[in-house]
Chains A and B, each alone.
Chain A
Amino acid sequence: MDNSIEKRLHNLRERLSYITDVFAGKHSDSTVMLEERLTFFAGRAMSGASENAYAELATVEDLFAHVERRLDKTLSPMDKVRIVRHPQRFCLRDILENVYDNFTEVGGQDEHSLDPGMLIARAVITRSRGKKKYMQSIMVIGQEKGHGAEYRNGGSVKPWGNAKALQYMNVAETEGIPIHTYIFTPGSYPVEDYPGAAQQIAKNIYNMAGLSVPIVAVVSEGGSGGAEAIGLADKRLMLSHGYYSVISPEGAAAIEGRLKNGERASPELIEHCAAHLKIQAEDNLRFGYVDKIIQEPPLGARPWHFDFFRSLRQDVIRATDEVVISTRKMPVLRGLALARHRNPETDIDGLYIRWGLSGAAKARLVHRRQQKFLRLSRQAARDRRPFLTKTATTFLDWISKPWVSFKYDFYHKHQRQISTLMEEINNEIDMIKYRLLSPWRKLRCRLPGRQDDKAQELTTLSTWEESGRSRKWNYLSPRYKIDRTLTCPNSESYGCLDLWGPDLFAEFAGVCSHCGYHFPMEPEWYVHNVFDAGSIIEFNSEIEAGNPLDFPDFSDKITAAKEKARAKSGCMTFEARIDNIKMVVAMLMGTFRGGSVGAAEGYKFVEAAARAAKKRYPFLAYVHGTAGIRIQEGTHGVIQMPRCTVAVRRYIEAGGLYMVLYDTNSFAGPVASFLGCSPYQFAVRSSNIGFAGPGVIKETTGMDIPPKYHRSYRALSRGHIQGIWDRRQIRPNIKQALLTIGGRNLYYR
């Protein structure tokens, strides 16, 4: 038999097994039929019975193509998940070889790499305009699945892999070359070893929010945090057979089915979750979280689909060009250029756009990117503010801007000079007074009766405005009314006696009097005991969490949560004072669906950061607890990671002081983005901070984790947080931190 027939037969067998794998038992009639035809032909070809083997083979191949096209229309979301995870799917190395003209890997070679799951390469493309050839450099960053090679870890990147990615993003920025990122990850590898999964992702997102080179991201498998670590881009392209999701369908099923350690979710439940999480390319395009879909061949591209790579090349170059063009200043020229580029008939290789940016263009690029993310997902939260309120707010914003900028930019600068002058004048007056009065003072000293003053002072009651001492709490946990005892979780190792509830939840502020373990308290406790009484002004309370994906049964759950927590969303934003220091606070409440963050919470967080920036107040994120991104909101949730981080970055760069305080349990998305990026993060004692909980770690890595793996003390030792506070000392500690970090006027660096 002919060698090339053998090769093509092998290819068909691969395609057949691919179909079988992708559909996992569905459409067995088609696969059986294909298999019969294939075996039949193979038999004939082998025995030499076939007269025209090439023609027959072509028929079989056509049949395969036909069936593939037909089946492509039936693909369910879960089938697509299986496609992107299939070893036969193309990988980043295939892209490097087929999309770019040349490349050098700079992030390690094969298994000899800091993290083989993260691939980094300097690549070039060559374009020609007329006879002139242009070489353009790109930094390519992405997860490498290596067609199932075990050392690639399926593209699940370890914290140091993401750190490597960040390092080369910064290199690209220095060199002024664009970045192409390719997202092939089921999620980040959830270990807390330095630099820590969450902490590193937060750093990546924060940095990407201000990177001054064009970034284009291509999503094949976009698994939550792992995807966001390299996903904050000017243009986000998505492959038609990829998925982009807040969590793997299996993970969602485990949460939906409330599965405990080791239990497996049923395939039906997983399908159900995949279907309702809206993870496909069309969904995400509709929501606006990706800018364009790149069409793949039927049943998804594989390394031999060279046509696909050609179109991918066109798309990424076009996207890069568009980003560059959109930073141009002249609107007319910009429009013309964009129109030409967007025309699908244009051969991108025949055009040449310089990718280097001027200083002003860089600023415009970053600004556009930030604005783009800030605009996202607003529709997914229910804004119940009355129309008038909204209009009034906007109007006030507009009115107050000049005043605020006068007050802070002009007045404060000159105020210092005025007060210095006044001080000097006062000094002079005091000096004159002292001289004038000295004879009288001398006379008074000689008068008798002075001795008794000492005894008087030392033995009689002094005046004392009792402040901090024996301070009473403004709010007591309602649990203090229940006559029962509680066992401290540390009693085994520290010998703590059982605590009486009425003592524990009132006077002790939920702190074990023996070992100092902190029992969780209600969010209200903090609101009323940390800040000055009566200083709380809540805003945007009408922005409500909803069910933007119409996730089955979830609307009821959200309604129930609203009633239980007596709040409209899991994020309360308010202005407050501590000893008359004003600040804006965003509080994620662990009592509202675990403190998960969805579109409404993100919206309020972004608004709070903007308000803090406008009013020149410090911004405190108090995390009473957060379980992560609200999975039932799908990508509406996950987009809050880059979005809120952008908001925080804008606030910090405007000179703001952003502080984070973690309490109880803080995990996953929020920690890995807008919380973890703060330069000043503190934790309350007995809190846990991490990326994924023990169950998820066991599920994804197979490792058992030690019992104290997520304790805040480990986060402190690792450098994630800057300090651990006693709950009863939060108020003085915040005040001290504000005064020492925030300096004189608490806002400007």
Chain B
Amino acid sequence: MLNISQLLDEIKASPYREIVVVAPHTGKITFAEIAPGDRVHGPQGQWKELPGDRLATLERERNPKPVCAPENGEISLVHKELNGCFVEAGTPLVVLRHMLTRDEVQRTILQKTLHLFLAPERAKYYFTPEADKKIRSSDAHSVTVRDGMELFIMSRMKREVPLHYTGPDGVIYEVYFKYNENLDAGAPLIGVCPQAHLHVIHDMIIRVQTEWTET
């Protein structure tokens, strides 16, 4: 069994994470009225339906798009010298100092508790259409996996191959990859929790929720 207290203490020792916000694509960048030291909010609302604070606007082909804060945090650096310039995709724009939220701490600890199914190759991963439909219509928790079940599509070199899940039976508790994102070999794809262990996980979550205070 995992020592949650010890894990929590470890995380408490360094509760910050640095987030570099980069330009998602090329275009002309205009920064919002932000300066180092400002506090900004990430997506809010019960379903995270409200976007985070606008950090900058990136305009490409007459289509201005907001670049929003991905998480709560304090701005530690703004590349103001780029204001009004054309930037390439991936150019660093803003650096945020982000204090880990309950959810993130929970996720960190979950990663150590759940059975992780890892990416076997560097590739893009998708759920099979059936699983994808289920996950989109409700959430990942509704999908039960079995050993040997065809669960993913691995896409690389323009070829798509099915990938079978191996590991204990259970429900998908966490999904660690995003659409169209390249994953390195060994990166976790999903965290699976056997049905019988769900209560352990819930206890753990309650502990994190009570012991971790968010500022």
Q: A residues bordering B, Cβ < 8 Å?
A: 482-487, 493-495, 498, 500, 704, 706-707
Q: Is B9 an interface residue (CB 8 A)?
A: no
Residues of A within 8 A of B136 (CB): 493
Interface string of B162-187 (1 = CB under 8 A from A): 00000000000000000110000000
Please tell me the number of chain B residues within 8 Å of chain A, measured between CB atoms. 12
Q: Is B17 an interface residue (CB 8 A)?
A: no
With contact pairs A704-B46, A706-B47 given, residues A495 and B63 touching in the complex (Cβ less than 8 Å): no
Residues of A within 8 A of B46 (CB): 704, 706
In this complex, what residue of A is CB-closest to B45?
A: A704
Nearest-Cβ distance from residue B181 to partner chain A, whole angstroms:
9
Complex CA distance for A482 and B179, rounded to whole angstroms: 30
With contact pairs A704-B45, A704-B46, A707-B49 given, residues A485 and B179 touching in the complex (Cβ less than 8 Å): no
Complex CA distance for A500 and B46, rounded to whole angstroms: 33
Q: Is B199 an interface residue (CB 8 A)?
A: no
Interface string of B149-160 (1 = CB under 8 A from A): 000000000000
- Could you say which of A494, A500, A707 contacts B179, with CB atoms under 8 Å apart? A494
Q: Is B61 an interface residue (CB 8 A)?
A: yes
A-B CB contact pairs (8 Å), 25 listed: A482-B62, A483-B61, A483-B62, A484-B61, A484-B62, A484-B63, A485-B61, A485-B62, A485-B63, A486-B63, A487-B63, A487-B65, A493-B136, A493-B179, A494-B179, A495-B179, A495-B180, A498-B60, A498-B63, A500-B61, A704-B45, A706-B47, A706-B49, A707-B47, A707-B49
Residues of A within 8 A of B61 (CB): 483-485, 498, 500
In this complex, what residue of B is CB-closest to A706?
A: B47
Complex CA distance for A482 and B61, rounded to whole angstroms: 11
Q: B residues bordering A, Cβ < 8 Å?
A: 45-47, 49, 60-63, 65, 136, 179-180
Residues of B within 8 A of A707 (CB): 47, 49
Residues of A within 8 A of B180 (CB): 495
What are the nearest 6 A-B pairs in CB distance?
A484-B62, A485-B61, A485-B63, A495-B180, A707-B49, A495-B179
Complex CA distance for A486 and B46, rounded to whole angstroms: 28
Nearest-Cβ distance from residue B71 to partner chain A, whole angstroms:
16
Nearest-Cβ distance from residue B40 to partner chain A, whole angstroms:
19
Residues of B within 8 A of A484 (CB): 61-63
Complex CA distance for A42 and B3, rounded to whole angstroms: 71
Complex CA distance for A486 and B62, rounded to whole angstroms: 9
Residues of B within 8 A of A500 (CB): 61
Residues of B within 8 A of A493 (CB): 136, 179
In this complex, what residue of B is CB-closest to A500?
A: B61
Residues of B within 8 A of A487 (CB): 63, 65
Residues of A within 8 A of B65 (CB): 487
Nearest-Cβ distance from residue B28 to partner chain A, whole angstroms:
14
A483-B61, A485-B63, A487-B65 known; 8 new pairs, CB 8 Å cut-off, are A482-B62, A494-B179, A498-B61, A498-B63, A500-B61, A704-B46, A706-B47, A707-B47
Complex CA distance for A498 and B60, rounded to whole angstroms: 10
Residues of B within 8 A of A495 (CB): 179-180
Residues of B within 8 A of A704 (CB): 45-46
Nearest-Cβ distance from residue B203 to partner chain A, whole angstroms:
28
